[in-house]
Amino acid sequence: MLAFVMQKHKNILLAFSFIINVFGFGISEAAPVRNGSLAQEGYFVYDRSLQKMIGSTPGLSIDHVSAQGFEVWGPRGLGQWLQRNKIRSAPLSPVNTKGAGDYPSPEEISQELKGIAQTAPQLTRLFSIGKSVKGRDLWVMKIASKVEQDDNRPEFKFIANMHGDEIVGRELMVLLIKDLVSNYGKDEFVTKLLDSTQIYIMPSMNPDGAAAGTRGNGNSVDLNRNFPDFSTNDNQDRPDGRAVETQAVMNWQATRKFALSANFHGGAEVVNYLWDTTGEKHPQLQWLQSLSLGYAKLAPYIFASTTFKNGITNGYDWYEVNGGMQDWSTYYRRDVQFTVELSNEKWPSYSKVDYYYKQNRSALLYLMSQTHNVAQFWAKNLRSSFQPAR
């Protein structure tokens, strides 16, 4: 009992020490701090017993918890604090964007998307929902038959590359766009999908991070810790004061009626379902598990995971995320969202991209096809059925 009390006090002192040191080293005034949204420094911590203490420390966020340890991200001074408190860790350096093959630059991705839109104007409409910190367009491709019609067909969206150093999702989204366009009228499933659904794909929410090989945006903001969160003090569904990329997504989504969506990451291989920010079980838990399992079964390498049973996990059971897009989208905007971790390597060799697309293709098509079922659910149920009990 005495040892437990001493350890508890030690954890409190460590957290208090970090808060003091953060202000001592300074936090970038260019970037808002919400729910630990700065990712100026990242480290892998090898002591799992410190996860709860570090995760609850203001300004820090946990990611990719494994049997070996976990990632921690935060403002400048994080590494010195870890070292001073003798916490065994290793720095997570920015990706060498030239060291894993010839991934396209954000500018090359832009040109590729423009080319697709020009060659298939009857099926695609390319538009920008805003600019990144460094002035790059945040492109979205709408794909549907009679694409110019903004009608009552259910709406679906994919968003990838929120974390700039997690690149596979961006490449898969470009391949998916090409696949849908080239197979319309040839593949019965794809044709029916585009005839009945309005599909929106955002290959890169963080082009500045992709260009630099960094987790955060051009101001080192972690975009997946920057959204409103119903379980924290940052619980007002307002875009002001957030990263420009976060604001762009929030403002865009306010103009749409998405029923279902997913966002893509790297560093693990698993389908993550609600909630991330609270341990309360979701009112529609079995349904969410069924949709997650439907995706995982059609992505063989994910379903075969030896880390996650059947390749799926509840977000909070894995680790807590505050300010994540998945929970915000579902709770505030009635858009049921999943998070798919595509690859254990965040920036694998470019030669592996085709493998990941082939492994995920059927699962991507499956999830898009479920838009109609989710839309019917929304038509029959109140919003409160997707919110935790209060």
Question: Looking at the annotation, which residues are catalytic?
Answer: 341
327-364 burial code (b ≥16 CB/10 A, e <16): bbbbbbbebbbbbbbbbbebbbeeeebeebbebbbebb
Residue 4: Cβ-neighbour burial (10 angstroms; 0-12, 13-18, 19+): exposed
**Tokens 């659904």 -> residue:** 197
For residues 222 and 216, the answer to whether their CB atoms sit within 8 Å is yes
**Tokens 């505050």 -> residue:** 322
4 token code pair = 């437990």
User: Phi-psi bin for 58: left (phi > 0), alpha (psi -120 to 50), beta?
Assistant: beta
The terminus-to-terminus CA distance of the chain in angstroms comes to: 34
Give the number of residues written for the chain: 390
Phi, psi of 333 (to 5 degrees): -115, 5
